[in-house]
């Protein structure tokens, strides 16, 4: 049992290792030297947008600029900068667009609030529709008049005979 | 009938929204540097490698900083516009050569010593300007792209207009077309030089 666990652990570990090797050779060397710093680099890189390939983070992207920015982040980590200082460094140069999670402020209000507003609007419309529908059904749900009832009976009988 | 108009209206609004969205240029990311002082640098000048230049040296003048490289395809497209500009207009145009060698992608940088990179970069930049014409008052060499990062460069070519006080007043990403020059850049230069 214990052995099986160890084998699983080994396979899992080597899988992790191979994805790291794909990332780039420099990362691998640095990870060996300082795993804590590399973990921070990884975390920060996942928050930052690569401006060349705009739908990738600088952790995913292998564009020149992404590599340069990773190198820049790595240097700043080595220099003992805090996460906030590093993120600010990027924002000063590339703007809020570099952040995968843009801050909530005037210009991004629609971005953050839009989905909630749309959902509330949808709920409101659904509720209005349901209410109208139920009043309509109530209105239609009158008992048949004697005349209609006898007509309906006649029709049903006709159907039975066929 | 009335509610169909309502649905049609909503649909038209959606189409309009998407049409506007699709016509926006995703590369046109507003630069946070507009309105801020041009980041300092001190880089070697292409024509006189033993001398350096920085934004401080340009204080008191309205000037353009144009990021270019010999491997950059769009730079070739905008180059004639710049050459024409430099002939007609008396505004300093400083070239920032961005990662001339290591940006090319055809070199194994791990095997190239720094002095060789430097030599090759100067050689390639000079050759390119000799071939296509040199519109630049001066060109400075940003070999490793560090200055490019300070200026938020992410797609060469890029152009910055910097005023007399050293404040960036405009940034243009991508090649300068004759239209951009006539409609955006020239009016701003005239205003700043008043």
- Look at residue B121 and tell me whether its pLDDT is greater than 90: yes
pTM of the model: 0.74
Among A18-32, B90-104, B115-129, the range scoring the smallest mean pLDDT is A18-32
pLDDT digits (tens, 9 = 90+) for A92-145: 998 888 888 888 887 788 888 999 999 999 999 999 999 999 888 888 777 778
Domain ranges for chain A, please list them: 19-103, 108-161
Instruction: In whole angstroms, give the CA distance from residue B75 to residue B80.
Output: 9
Chain B partners within 8 Å of A51 (Cβ): 29, 154-155
What residue of A is the nearest CA neighbor of B99?
A64
Eight-class DSSP state of A99: B
Average pLDDT, chain A: 80
Q: Establish if B136 touches chain A: CB-CB under 8 angstroms.
A: no
Query: Using an 8 Å Cβ cutoff, are B67 and B153 in contact?
Result: yes
Percent of chain B with pLDDT over 70: 99
Which of A10-19, A50-59, B13-22 bottoms out in mean pLDDT, i.e. has the lowest?
A: A10-19
Tell me whether residue B17 is exposed, middle or buried, using C-beta atoms within 10 angstroms of its C-beta: 0 to 12, 13 to 18, 19 or more.
exposed
In degrees to the nearest 10, what's the CA dihedral of B33, B34, B40, B41? 80
Cβ neighbour number for residue B63 with a 10 Å cutoff? 24
pLDDT higher at A6 or B116: B116
Does ipTM come in above 0.85? no
CB atoms B33 and A93 under 8 Å: yes
If we measure between CA atoms, which residue out of B30, B73, B28, B154 comes closest to residue A50?
B154
CA dihedral of B34, B37, B42, B47, whole degrees rounded to 10: 60
Beta partners for residue B158, in sequence order: B67, B173
Residue A28 pLDDT exceeds 60: no
- B151 closest CA partner among B134, B131, B170: B170
Exposed e or buried b per residue across B148-177, where buried means at least 16 C-beta atoms within 10 angstroms of its C-beta:
bbbbbbbebbbbbbbbeebebbbbbbbbbe
Q: Which of residues 25-44 of B touch A (CB under 8 A)?
A: 26, 29-33
Decide if pLDDT at B48 tops 60. yes
Handedness of CA A48, A49, A55, A57 (dihedral sign): negative
A154: Cα within 13 Å, side-chain hemisphere: 6
B149 → closest Cβ in A52, A54, A93: A93
Question: Please, which residues bridge with residue B43 across strands?
Answer: B53
Interchain CB distance below 8 Å, B103 and A64: yes
What domains, with CATH codes, occur in chain B?
A: 29-192 (3.40.30.10)
- Which residues in chain A touch residue B111, judged by CB atoms under 8 angstroms apart? none
Segment A5-12 mean pLDDT: 57
Nearest to A95 among B32, B150, B155 (CB): B32
Chain A contact present for B160, CB below 8 A: no
Set of chain B residues whose Cβ sits within 8 Å of the Cβ of A54: 26
- B192: closest CA of chain A, how far (Å): 24
CB contact under 8 A, A51 and B154: yes
Question: How many Å lie between the alpha carbon of A80 and the closest alpha carbon of chain B?
Answer: 19
Q: What is the pLDDT of residue A18?
A: 47
Whether domain A19-103 has CATH 1.10.8.640: the reply is yes
Q: Which of A77-91, B37-51, B103-117, B153-167 has the lowest mean pLDDT?
A: B103-117
What is the predicted pLDDT for the residue at A22? Answer: 46
């Amino acid at each position: 049992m214990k052995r099986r666990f160890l084998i699983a652990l080994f396979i899992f570990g080597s899988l992790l290792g191979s994805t790291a090797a794909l990332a780039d050779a420099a990362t691998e060397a640095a990870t060996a030297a300082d795993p804590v710093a590399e973990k921070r680099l990884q975390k920060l890189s996942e928050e930052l947008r690569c401006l060349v390939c705009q739908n990738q983070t600088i952790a995913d992207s292998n564009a020149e600029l992404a590599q340069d920015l990773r190198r820049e982040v790595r240097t700043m980590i080595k220099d003992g900068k805090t996460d906030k200082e590093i993120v600010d460094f990027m924002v000063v140069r590339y703007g809020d667009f570099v952040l995968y999670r843009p801050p909530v402020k005037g210009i991004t209000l629609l971005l953050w609030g839009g989905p909630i507003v749309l959902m509330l609007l949808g709920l409101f419309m659904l509720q209005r529709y349901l209410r109208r529908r139920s009043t309509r059904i109530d209105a239609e749900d009158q008992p048949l008049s004697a005349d209609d009832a006898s007509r309906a009976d006649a029709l049903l009988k006709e159907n039975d005979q066929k | 009938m009335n509610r169909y108009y309502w649905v049609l209206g909503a649909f038209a609004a959606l189409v309009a929204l998407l049409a506007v969205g699709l016509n926006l240029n995703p590369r046109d990311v507003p630069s946070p540097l507009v309105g801020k002082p041009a980041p300092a640098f001190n880089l070697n000048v292409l024509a006189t490698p033993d001398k350096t230049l920085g934004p401080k040296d340009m204080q008191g003048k309205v000037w353009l900083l144009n990021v270019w490289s010999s491997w950059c395809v769009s730079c070739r497209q905008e180059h004639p516009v710049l050459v024409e500009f430099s002939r007609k207009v008396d505004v300093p145009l400083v070239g920032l050569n961005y990662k001339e060698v290591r940006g090319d992608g055809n070199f194994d940088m791990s095997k190239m010593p720094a002095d060789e990179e430097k030599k090759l970069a100067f050689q390639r930049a000079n050759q390119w300007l000799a071939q296509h014409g040199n519109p630049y008052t001066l060109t400075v060499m940003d070999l490793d792209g560090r200055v490019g990062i300070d200026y938020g460069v992410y797609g060469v070519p890029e152009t910055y207009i910097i005023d007399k006080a050293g404040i960036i007043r405009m940034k243009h990403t991508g090649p300068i077309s004759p239209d951009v020059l006539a409609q955006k850049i020239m009016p701003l230069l005239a205003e700043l030089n008043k």
